[in-house]
């Protein structure tokens, strides 16, 4: 049996392990944390959103970033301190602007395909992840943002997504809890939400039942291509260990860049920090006042999801500030203020702040497929759409491994 190592136990690593295990591969997963989904897959916005598949590679993003550079609570914040990594990433980002339309269409198609895979995985394992299939509603208060959304909609439609424009009255009918005026919005009935952490943990338990081996609290010190496979050296509570594998899939989020360099590949991922708050709906009034339909405020770059009766997740912002994971109050405050503006009857007295680093490539497209050396594969760099795309890219990764195995057997 072919033995594959998966580096990373976030949503992409666990879905990859599951996709490989259900095809009969012997799989070992490595992660430096004690459990699955403890970093970027811990408390994201919760949206499984083909409707949010527009890539950021356009001049409007550049101009907004420059305008907001000195505004600490801006939706997009860039630390002006230069580094070669940041400068090279941004140069490549601008080089991808001509591919904006093609990449948006391709990402949307991938997001649509991912939905059924993710639900199938959940059904097979018996995962309860606070799934709410009530659609996603984009809302607009600024005409220029609404006009841009109409242009984006033509690209989403080319990919096969049904996202319909709705009036301000329809916005209110779709989500009666909303307490602010809008110009209108776009509604995608087929999108849905869920708790990424609960999903990933439950799927990892399903993987374990299928025979997947997990090495948690494993500090991987070296990854070496031997010519006939991969040798991984790691340290854990059992001391220094070493094992040989037939192949490796790198799903290590923002750590993928350093691992790729060891394997002879360049994967120019930059960590883009995002924030969230989980509002605990401790009283009946807050539970009644919080929305059930998932929202996306395009101007503020804020998304929401209802995670069962007693939790309301609000997430957003993008911060280019290296590998820093500090939770800054001036970045959390806009999320809390947004809640109090849109849903003033929801108590924000008890809310849990969080920050995570999105692994983002300059093209805004994930790196999925083989590396330069045989037996090396990547499923990483999903940016803000890891939850949305993971099940489809996991299946694609397993396809690549299948093709290589059949070629080797021929």
Between CA 371 and CA 1, with CA 261 as vertex, the angle to 5 degrees is: 45
Q: Tell me the C-alpha distance between 229 and 390, whole Å.
A: 26
Strand 270-280 relative to strand 294-297: parallel, antiparallel, unpaired?
unpaired
pLDDT reported for residue 409: 78
Nearest partner of 100 among 60, 47, 140, judged by Cα: 60
CA dihedral 55, 57, 58, 60 (to 10 degrees): 80
104, burial (CB in 10 Å: exposed 0-12, middle 13-18, buried 19+): buried
Helix axes 11-21, 196-209, angle to 10 degrees: 30
Nearest partner of 212 among 41, 400, 6, 35, judged by Cα: 6
Quick check: helix, strand or coil at residue 315? Answer: strand
Q: Tell me the C-alpha distance between 207 and 125, whole Å.
A: 9
Write the CA distances from 368 to 252, 265, 342, 365, integer angstroms. Answer: 13, 13, 38, 9
CB 263 within 8 A of CB 324: no
Nearest partner of 325 among 120, 119, 87, 39, judged by Cα: 39
CB 324 within 8 A of CB 356: no
Q: Confirm whether pTM is higher than 0.75.
A: yes
CA dihedral 284, 128, 343, 70 (to 10 degrees): 140
CB atoms under 10 Å from CB of 408, counted, come to 11
Instruction: List alpha helices for 35-99, DSSP H.
Output: 59-67, 84-95
Nearest partner of 381 among 354, 362, 355, judged by Cα: 362
CB atoms under 10 Å from CB of 125, counted, come to 18
18, burial (CB in 10 Å: exposed 0-12, middle 13-18, buried 19+): buried
Task: Read off φ and ψ for residue 89, nearest 5 degrees.
Answer: -65, -45
pLDDT reported for residue 228: 87
Can you tell me which residue has the tokens 């093209």? Answer: 363
Q: Tell me the C-alpha distance between 139 and 136, whole Å.
A: 10
Any idea how long the chain is?
A: 410
Which segments in the chain show pLDDT lower than 70? 1
């Amino acid at each position: 049996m072919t033995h594959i190592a998966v580096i990373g136990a976030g949503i992409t690593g666990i879905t990859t392990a599951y996709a490989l295990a259900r095809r009969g591969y012997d799989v070992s997963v490595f992660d430096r944390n004690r459990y699955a989904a403890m970093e970027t897959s811990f408390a994201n916005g919760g949206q499984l959103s083909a409707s949010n598949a527009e890539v950021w590679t356009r001049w409007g993003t550049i101009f907004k970033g420059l305008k907001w550079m000195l505004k600490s609570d801006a939706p997009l914040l860039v630390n002006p301190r230069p580094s070669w990594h940041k400068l090279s990433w941004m140069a490549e980002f601008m080089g991808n602007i001509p591919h904006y339309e093609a990449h948006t269409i391709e990402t949307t198609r991938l997001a649509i395909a991912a939905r059924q895979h993710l639900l199938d995985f959940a059904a097979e394992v018996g995962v309860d992840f606070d799934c709410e299939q009530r659609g996603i509603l984009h809302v607009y208060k600024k005409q220029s943002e609404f006009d841009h959304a109409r242009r984006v909609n033509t690209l989403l439609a080319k990919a096969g997504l049904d996202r319909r424009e709705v009036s301000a009255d329809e916005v209110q009918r779709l989500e009666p809890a909303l307490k602010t005026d809008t110009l209108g919005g776009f509604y995608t009935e087929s999108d849905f939400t869920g708790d990424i952490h609960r999903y990933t943990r439950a799927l990892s338990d399903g993987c374990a039942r299928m025979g997947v081996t997990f090495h948690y609290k494993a500090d991987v010190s070296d990854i070496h291509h031997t010519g006939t496979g991969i040798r991984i050296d790691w340290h854990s509570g059992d001391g220094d260990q070493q094992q040989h594998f037939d192949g490796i899939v790198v799903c290590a989020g923002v750590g993928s860049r350093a691992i790729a360099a060891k394997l002879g590949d360049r994967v120019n991922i930059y960590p883009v920090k995002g924030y969230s708050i989980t509002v605990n709906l401790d009283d009946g009034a807050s539970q009644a006042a919080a929305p059930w339909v998932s929202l996306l405020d395009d101007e503020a770059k804020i998304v929401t999801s209802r995670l069962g009766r007693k939790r309301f997740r609000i997430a957003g912002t993008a911060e280019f500030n290296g590998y820093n994971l500090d939770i800054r109050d001036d970045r959390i405050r806009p999320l809390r203020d947004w809640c109090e503006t849109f849903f003033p009857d929801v108590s924000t007295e008890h809310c849990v702040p969080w920050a995570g680093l999105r692994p983002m490539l300059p093209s805004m497209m994930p790196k999925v497929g083989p590396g330069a050396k045989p037996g090396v594969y990547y499923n990483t760099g999903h940016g803000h759409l890891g939850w949305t795309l993971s099940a489809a890219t996991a299946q694609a990764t397993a396809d690549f491994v299948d093709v290589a195995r059949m070629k080797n057997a021929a």
